[in-house]
Structure 1
Amino acid sequence: MKLPASTAPSLFDRSALTLRRARAQDEALFLHRAAVDEVQDRLSMVNRTFTAPAIVTPFHQIWQSVLPDANIIPDDETLALTPGTHDLVIHAMALHWANDPVGQLIQCNRALRPDGLMLVVCLGGETLHQLRAALGQAEIAVTGGLSPRIAPMAELRDLGSLLQRAGLALPVADVAALTAEYRDLYHLMRDLRAMGETNVLSDRLRRPTKRQIFDQAQKAYSEHFATPEDRLPATFELICLTGWSPDESQPKPLRPGSAQMRLAEALNTDEGNLPD
């Protein structure tokens, strides 16, 4: 079933994103390889063999040897997934660029068989917080205003709630933070370009940025965040989401009031009133 076209304004320029990704360099895709590690770690804890996996990713070469039998598709606005055909869907390092993240999760859920697993890895809200602060401080100092430079990324709690909105059961959300260190601001920006993770906000500044802003941002970055070795740390927050396609075989929460024992009895302690 094709999802209706969204009438909401697009946060991201997907055409620009495609061009940036086309220039990405394989050796710079360490975040995607970290996502592979996170996925493999979580799959190792699931006592199940998956026979019909699908992987949504902008970089198929990262995943083609991880699950050789997987159907690997790009993270287009409408995903090339057939409803009810997969027992595992992995959405890998792309949800933070989606104009409709809930829609992406709904499409993945529809592609799952009953009791199928969905696993998402994406960037979260603490990603590049040092760069965001330094650039903001510098731009205000130089121009007196701010322009959209770093994409707003969802927090852990918000992303966890998206799983429920998408109709997935037994949702779990957790985080793994990575820190990379750079010689200077320009080294970091070159690395982001090589990752294909530079600014593609629809409302981004379309003219070249003054060198003075970057120089000021370098100074602010160093003053507030530099390590004792005079390196600039950059945080990348990987948020991992898991949810299951609903099925009658899954555990259900007990009905409120159905407990057969008071909590105090179970803990072998006294029950008392809270102070006013």
Structure 2
Amino acid sequence: MDAQGLFDTALVRRNRLRALVHAPEGSDFLLKLVNAELSERLAAVERRFETAIALHALDDQLAVLLAASGKVERLIRVEQDQRMLDGQSETALATDLELFPIAAEAAGLVVSPLSLHLVNDLPGLLVQIRQALRPDGLLLAAMPGSGTLSELRDALITAETELSGGVSPRVIPFTDVRDCGALLQRAGFALPVVDAETYTVRYDTMFALMRDLRHMGMANPLCARSRKPATRALFVRAAQIYADRYSDPDGRIRASFCVLYLSGWKPHESQQKPLSPGSAKASLAAALGTREHKF
């Protein structure tokens, strides 16, 4: 365990391996959805990439989509554990989540679905990715953002406060669009874009949601989590609160997954440059027919 970080990286590995090996069919629905969305976004890029990296995608779904895209000549999978690589060796690497063992300017494209939120030093990893990209190379990624599992967080906090007068962190913190964009800029990416899509999934009970989260490899990996087993009374009360606050007329509960989609380019002289302040020939206010305010 990394005592200095937010996440227990050994537990993250165990959670993800358990999901890969033991999850029932269909429990990877969110990963499939995100992989398909990333593939669609890549299809809109009018470029072919000599070398692409599928980064911590858990299984080969993303690699299959990238290979079928017609955009990639050579594909390398990078995963947290060799067991996630289906026995591949020549075109695959196993490494820690915090490391990106690709040579400088060796990759044209890096695609990462639903893993960057588990990295202790995300700014550092983004810098490593940017360094490994060729000039005008592209990063495409997706990660859960602020608002994800907000209903579950609320129910657990309320129940634990009622029963014990305090709370233990049981749902990891998620970043928002603005902070994510700032991270890309800080890491040196040009033309950064971050947008959010919220997917609402319905369940019979909170316990069904929690089962799916374990099957996704999303069980609580926080270093600050309580080491005392939670009582059944806590989860029963949380399930009642969840149903009271977040159920539809048919009695099923709602769970929100807010996914942030990120893109950024390795700087290159051919890229479009933003206008310097005050250089625009017509103001936005004039175009909209509104009054301009200066600050």
Aligned with 1:70: secondary structure? strand
**Contact residue 55 and residue 110 of structure 2 kept, 8 A:** yes
Give 1:141 shift.
0.5
- Cα offset, 1:64, TM superposition: 2.5
Matched, 1:118 2:139: yes
Q: Is the 1:60–1:72 Cα contact (8 Å) retained in structure 2?
A: no
Partner of residue 80, structure 1: 101
- State which drifts further: 62-71 or 46-55: 62-71
For 1:114, give the aligned amino acid.
Answer: P
Per-residue deviation, 1:61:
2.1
State the partner residue of 1:10. Answer: 5
Q: Is the 8 A contact 2:3 2:223 kept in 1?
A: no
Look up the match of 2:71.
none
Q: 1:20 matched to which residue of 2?
A: 15
Q: TM-score, normalised by structure 1?
A: 0.90
Counterpart of 2:251 in 1: which secondary structure?
coil
Q: Distance in 2 between matches of 1:86 and 1:112?
A: 5
Q: Once the 2 structures are TM-superposed, how far is the Cα of residue 265 of structure 1 from its aligned partner?
A: 11
Structure 1 residue 254: deviation in Å?
2.5
Deviates more, 1:16-25 or 1:53-62: 53-62
TM-score (norm 2): 0.85
Structure 2 distance, partners of 1:194, 1:223, is 25
Q: One-letter code of the match for 1:209?
A: A
Q: 1:133 aligns with which of 154, 179, 183?
A: 154
**Which whole-Å deviations, capped at 9, do the CAs of 1:107-147 have from their partners, x for residues lacking one?**
11111000011111001011100000000000000111000
* Matched residues, number: 267
Q: Is the 8 A contact 1:177 1:238 kept in 2?
A: yes
Change (3 A) 1:254 1:211: same
Counterpart in the other structure of 1:173: 194
Which residue pairs with 2:30 in the alignment? 31
Distance (Å, rounded) in 1 between the aligned partners of 2:206 and 2:270: 52
2:66 counterpart SS class: coil
- Residue 51 and residue 153 in structure 1: after superposition, are their counterparts in 2 closer, same or farther (change >3 A)? same
Equivalent residue runs for 1:1-276 within 5 Å:
9-24=4-19, 25=23, 27=25, 28-68=27-67, 69-74=74-79, 76-259=97-280, 261-263=281-283, 267=287
Shift of residue 183 of structure 1? 1.0
Offset at 1:55? 1.3
3-state DSSP of counterpart to 1:52: strand
Give the 3 Å change call, closer, same or farther, for CA 267–185 of structure 1 in structure 2: closer
Aligned to 2:91: none
Give aligned-pair identity as a percent: 38
* Corresponding letter in the other structure for 2:15: R
Q: Which moved more, 1:58-67 or 1:8-17?
A: 58-67
Contact 1:39 1:119 in 2 (8 A): yes
- Structure 2 runs not aligned, ≥5 long: 68-73, 81-96
Structure 1 unpaired stretches of 5+: 1-6
Instruction: Give the Cα–Cα distance (whole angstroms) in 1 for the partners of residues 12 and 263 of structure 2.
Output: 26
Relative distance call for 1:264 and 1:56 in structure 2 (3 A) is: closer
Equivalent AA in structure 2 for residue 17 of structure 1:
V
Q: 1:258 to 1:21 in 2, by over 3 A?
A: closer
Contact 2:112 2:140 (C-alpha < 8 Å) held by counterparts: yes
Q: Retained in 2: the 8 A contact 1:124–1:155? A: yes
Whether the aligned pair in 1 keeps the contact of 2:39 and 2:66 (CA below 8 Å) is no
Does the CA-based 8 Å contact 1:139-1:145 persist in structure 2?
yes
Instruction: Return closer, same or farther for 1:19/1:268 CA change in 2, 3 Å cut-off.
Output: closer
Q: Distance in 1 between matches of 2:199 and 2:282?
A: 43
Q: Residues 148, 262 of structure 1: CA spacing in aligned structure 2 closer, same or farther, 3 A cutoff?
A: closer
